[in-house]
Amino acid sequence: MGAVGGSVYHFFKGLHNSPNGARITGGMQAARMNAPRLAGSFAVWGTLFSTFHCTSAYVRRKEDPWNSIIGGAATGGFLSMRQGVKASGRSALVGGFFLALIEGAGLMANRFAPQMLPPLPADDPNMAAAISMGGGGFPGLPQPVVSPAEVVSSSSGGSWFGGLFGKKEEKKPSGSAGMSEILESFEAPSPPIPSFDFK
């Protein structure tokens, strides 16, 4: 990201600062000279930020936006440590502030994003029947056949998982038909055991 962004930025900066007739070569030369430096700086910043972020998550034993804020502040302070304590403190505040802005924007986007999306369709038997009739799926592939009884029974669950959790068991008719289904499933041949011998 730093290499691509730095190349684009320094190319246009060199394009602007070069004399007429040598603008493209000047832009390419500026990008070739300055983009690796920016890419290296970006890589160092990203590595330090990831280190401080993961360390903060490990020490605090929780994953929340504070880890990013702490990581940004520690990275800013660590990178400007050579300029002294005062400059390091200022950079730590700036790094923490910018990461707090980014995390706040992410939280706001996550909070308002579900409101902007259209509502999910309810478990509607007509919708499932329309999809099975060819209204959905991949073109060119055969559509699964769904009987209306299956549609009604699958939509009877009140959750997205179709009643996977807390599903009431349906009473099966007692008699020999239910028993024969169970026995037939046990009589099916098992798949062959693979041989891993070298031939």
pLDDT of residue 151: 47
Domain boundaries in the chain? 1-50, 64-114, 123-156
Q: Return the percent helix, strand and coil in the chain, to nearest 5.
A: 65, 0, 35
pTM: 0.53
Of 88 and 171, the structure prediction assigns the larger pLDDT to 88
Lowest mean per-residue pLDDT among 89-98, 123-132, 177-186: 177-186
* Whether residue 144 has pLDDT greater than 60: no
145 contact partners, CB below 8 Å, separation of at least 6: 132
pLDDT of residue 113: 78
Average pLDDT over residues 117-145: 58
- 196 DSSP assignment: -
* Whether residue 161 has pLDDT greater than 70: no
Whole-Å CA distances, 134 to 120, 127, 155, 162, 164: 20, 11, 19, 22, 26
Average pLDDT over residues 13-26: 85
pLDDT of residue 164: 44
Residue 18 tokens read as 């070069």
What are the φ and ψ backbone dihedral angles of 123, each rounded to 5 degrees? -70, 95
Residue 52 tokens read as 């401080």
What is the CB-side half-sphere exposure of residue 67 using CA atoms within 13 A? 15
pLDDT of residue 128: 56
pLDDT of residue 49: 95
